């Protein structure tokens, strides 16, 4: 047997935070052990107040995995405290930061917070803090708010490399600041660096809010860092091709390792809701934000309700996850205009176990995928949860990799993400038929997305990479 090797994993998203990005990393770490690779994980130390904090998810981490947790320095909060002291904030006046924390349970993520009184004017402190938030978001958090964390992680990783036998370093993005860690460790130790892109950095459909100058700056940063990477991985062939065109100067190896599903994850979950119980449930589990909206489905449902109410009277659409305020406002306008608010249930964030149970017990899974210029390469991790749940998928996505997988596997069908006409046509077709009790999926085709098979390939790539070079300072 070969000697056990050690992979140093830098992952900003990891249990107990309930992000879809955590699953790829935690499963790689678990399944790599069967191929002679153990992992040391450097990740975020959560406060426990994050809205996506779920202590039960700690059980996802395989026994014996070493996890080093580092706090995230909140630059905005520190600046706000300084401004507060300088301005002498009056008692009882809440800062924007505190309001956000109250609304999100501690994450500090950007949210819309309803003012205590519509007539109340912003205080001097509120205006100053708003300016600070804008400045930090645009000029300090480049490429993201994990930049201070990445500096600490770099120090810790270099110390680990000096004290332990580390064979390679793996950074998974986002957060994109993790790439700085891989770059510095590669430069100072010569250890092979694998940069894993779950999402694109430059060109991602969820980062279109960035001004042009900032996009170009980050592209230059990305180009500089990736020149030292020994392997760059993305989750779809279109994304790999896009990255190769974007970064012709990368000398490292390009690979595609899709996300996947765990065959055993849903084995213990059986359907408890009977078919034909008076409802036809469409379930979406996940957040709706930025370019991930799903308004076309609501519009289509409203059109059908207006012309043929009997066809949709049993439909219930369950949205299990946070909804960005602007997107929710648009939903409210659509639902009120068509009089179909009673057909929608916005349940908010739920536990991971509750989400899986909802997937198994629904009639149809609603998949809402990001739209944008590079959306053809988007394969959301959520798709593979849906694969494991084995319920028919009604997908709103632009033509590309996600549509190909769904329709090639016989899991359901897809319509263009923002085409109300196409959505209405397919919805009418589906509602006119009995709800299928099983999905005739192509399991042989889906076998390539078994997470164990993907991890086996990853382990082989790691072995080849380590065997093909000796550590030396670059």
Q: Rounded distance, CA 39 to CA 31, Å?
A: 10
Write out pLDDT tens, residues 149-207: 999 999 999 999 999 999 999 999 999 999 999 999 999 999 999 999 999 999 988 88
Do residue 231 and residue 371 come from a single domain? no
Res 316 pLDDT > 60:
yes
Q: Name the one residue in this structure whose structure tokens are 């989750």.
A: 235
Q: How many distinct structural domains can be found in the chain?
A: 3
Do residue 64 and residue 88 come from a single domain? no
What are 334's strand-pairing partners?
Answer: none
Do residue 409 and residue 433 come from a single domain? yes
Q: What stretches of 124-236 show up as alpha helix (H) in DSSP?
A: 124-135, 147-163, 178-189, 212-226
Do residue 170 and residue 219 come from a single domain? yes
DSSP symbols for 28-78: HHHHHGGGTEEEEEEEE---S--TTB-GGGGGGSPTT-EEEEEPPP-HHHH
- 267: in domain: no
Res 459 pLDDT > 60:
yes
Alpha-carbon distance values, 151 to 79, 148, 407 (Å):
19, 5, 44
Do residue 302 and residue 362 come from a single domain? yes
- 271: in domain: no
Helix axes 212-226 and 178-189, enclosed angle (nearest 10): 30
Q: What stretches of 279-362 show up as alpha helix (H) in DSSP?
A: 295-307, 309-312, 325-338, 352-361
Alpha-carbon distance values, 313 to 153, 281, 400, 434 (Å):
54, 11, 33, 15
- 300: in domain: yes
Do residue 433 and residue 285 come from a single domain? yes
What is the longest distance spanned by two Cα atoms in the chain?
73
Write out pLDDT tens, residues 119-163: 456 666 566 656 666 666 766 789 999 999 999 999 999 999 999
Write out pLDDT tens, residues 264-304: 878 778 899 999 899 999 999 999 999 999 999 999 999 99
H or E stretch covering 368: strand 364-368
pLDDT of residue 141: 80
Q: Rounded distance, CA 420 to CA 294, Å?
A: 10
Q: Name the one residue in this structure whose structure tokens are 């009639």.
A: 363
- 474: in domain: no
CB 129 within 8 A of CB 108: no
Domain that holds residue 308: 280-448
| Boundary (domain end) residue, out of 105, 140, 175 | 140
Res 109 pLDDT > 70:
no
H or E stretch covering 103: helix 96-104
**99: confidence class by pLDDT, cuts 50, 70, 90:** very low
pLDDT of residue 116: 36
| Boundary (domain end) residue, out of 94, 118, 140 | 140
- 275: in domain: no
| Boundary (domain end) residue, out of 116, 140, 164 | 140
Do residue 357 and residue 397 come from a single domain? yes
Structure-token pair, residue 351: 């536990």
Do residue 79 and residue 196 come from a single domain? no
- 405: in domain: yes
Do residue 120 and residue 150 come from a single domain? no
Tell the burial category of 368 from Cβ atoms under 10 Å away from its Cβ (0-12, 13-18, 19+).
Answer: buried
Do residue 108 and residue 159 come from a single domain? no
25-39, 202-216, 458-472: range with lowest mean pLDDT: 458-472
Tell me the CATH number at 152: 3.40.50.2000
Do residue 106 and residue 44 come from a single domain? no
- 124: in domain: yes
- 391: in domain: yes
Sheet holding 253-256, edge to edge: 66-70, 37-44, 5-11, 168-173, 193-197, 231-234, 253-256
Q: Name the one residue in this structure whose structure tokens are 């990477």.
A: 229
Do residue 460 and residue 336 come from a single domain? no
Q: Rounded distance, CA 344 to CA 333, Å?
A: 13
């Amino acid at each position: 047997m070969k000697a056990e090797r050690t992979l140093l994993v830098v992952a900003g998203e990891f249990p107990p935070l309930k992000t879809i990005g955590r699953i790829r990393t935690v499963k790689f770490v678990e399944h790599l052990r069967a191929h002679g690779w153990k992992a040391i994980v450097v990740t975020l130390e959560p406060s426990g107040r994050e809205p996506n904090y779920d202590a039960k998810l700690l059980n996802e981490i395989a026994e014996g995995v070493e996890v080093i947790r580092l706090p995230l320095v909140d630059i905005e909060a520190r600046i706000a405290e300084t401004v507060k002291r300088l301005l002498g904030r009056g008692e009882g006046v809440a800062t924007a930061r505190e309001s956000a924390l109250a609304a999100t349970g501690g994450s500090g993520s950007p949210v819309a917070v309803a003012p205590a009184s519509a007539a109340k004017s912003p205080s001097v402190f509120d205006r100053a803090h708003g300016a600070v938030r804008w400045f930090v978001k645009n000029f300090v958090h480049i490429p993201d708010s994990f930049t201070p964390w990445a500096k600490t992680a770099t120090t810790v990783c270099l110390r680990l490399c000096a004290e332990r036998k580390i064979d390679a370093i793996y950074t998974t993005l986002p957060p994109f600041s993790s790439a700085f860690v891989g770059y510095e460790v590669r430069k100072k130790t010569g250890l092979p660096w694998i940069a894993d892109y779950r999402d694109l950095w430059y060109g991602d459909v969820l980062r279109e809010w960035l001004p042009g100058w900032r996009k170009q700056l980050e592209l230059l940063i990305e180009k500089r860092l990736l020149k030292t990477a020994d392997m760059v991985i993305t989750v779809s062939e279109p994304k790999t091709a896009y990255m190769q065109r974007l970064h012709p100067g990368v000398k490292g190896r390009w690979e595609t390792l899709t996300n996947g599903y765990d065959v055993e994850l849903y084995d213990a979950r059986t359907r408890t809701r009977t078919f034909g119980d008076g409802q036809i449930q469409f379930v979406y589990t996940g957040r709706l934000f930025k370019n991930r909206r799903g308004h076309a489905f609501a519009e289509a449902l409203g059109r059908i309700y207006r012309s043929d109410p009997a066809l949709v009277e049993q439909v219930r659409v369950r949205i299990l996850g946070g909804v960005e305020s602007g997107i929710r406002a648009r939903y409210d306008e659509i639902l009120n205009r068509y009089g179909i608010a009673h057909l929608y249930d916005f349940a908010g964030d739920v536990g991971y176990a509750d989400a899986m149970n909802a997937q198994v017990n629904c009639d149809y899974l609603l998949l809402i995928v990001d739209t944008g210029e590079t959306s053809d390469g988007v394969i959301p991790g959520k798709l593979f949860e849906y694969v494991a749940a084995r319920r028919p998928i009604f997908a709103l996505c632009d033509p590309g990799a996600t549509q190909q997988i769904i329709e090639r596997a016989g899991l359901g069908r897809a319509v263009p993400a923002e085409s109300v006409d196409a959505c209405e046509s397919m919805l009418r077709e589906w509602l006119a038929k009995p709800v299928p009790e099983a999905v005739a999926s192509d399991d042989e085709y889906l076998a390539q997305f078994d997470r164990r098979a993907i991890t086996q390939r990853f382990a082989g790539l790691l072995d080849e990479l380590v065997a093909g070079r000796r550590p030396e300072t670059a």
